[in-house]
Amino acid sequence: MNHWLFKSEPDAWSWDQQVANGVKGEEWTGVRNYQARNNMRAMKVGDLGFFYHSNIGKEIVGIVEVIRESAPDSSTDDARWDCVVIKAVRPVKKTVTLDACKVEPGLAAMALVTNTRLSVQPVTAEEWRIVCNMAGIDPI
């Protein structure tokens, strides 16, 4: 199983909205970046990810699960773009801010820190463990 991180501006789509969608989840439309898209194409149903609020908060607020593999993005006719569907699994006990990630030695190479503009990122097993620990939850 692989781990990921999804960024969203809470103004546009927040964790609360994601939670409100329940088990039907949300199609992760709007990604127009090849790297981010390729990351989604690599996802399998059951993969887990962090849900990160960019701009406002700048913190990891919850855990999501991939519930459909990448398929054409319904928000565009452009065949280049496709996306997965994710559902909220659980909130973190304690949000993990970008600042906290930056000062954590084990997260120095994390894409969140090194590649700020990438909206869908891979997270290594070790990074996953460290962030879950900081978030006060058991790694699932």
Partner DNA sequence: GCCAACGTTGGC
The size of the chain, in residues, is 140
Q: Which of 10, 16, 40 is nearest to 28 (CA)?
A: 40
- Decide if 112 contacts 120 (C-beta within 8 A): no
User: Of 32-40, 41-49, 61-69, 81-89, which part binds DNA (CB under 7 A)?
Assistant: 32-40
CB count within 10 Å of CB 122 equals 17
Shortest CB 85 distance to DNA, Å: 19
- Binding residues for DNA restricted to 79-138, rule: CB under 7 A: 98-99, 115-119
24 touches DNA (CB under 7 A)? no
Shortest CB 23 distance to DNA, Å: 26
The order of strands in the sheet holding 82-97 is 26-27, 82-97, 59-72, 48-53, 3-8, 120-123
Shortest CB 34 distance to DNA, Å: 4
75 touches DNA (CB under 7 A)? no
9 touches DNA (CB under 7 A)? yes
Q: Which of 18, 39, 54, 95 is the binder for DNA (CB under 7 A)?
A: 54
Locus of tokens 């898209």: 37
Residues 6+ apart with CB under 8 A from 29: 73, 74, 75, 76, 83
User: Of 16-24, 54-62, 63-71, 122-130, which part binds DNA (CB under 7 A)?
Assistant: 54-62
Total of chain residues touching DNA, rule CB under 7 A: 16
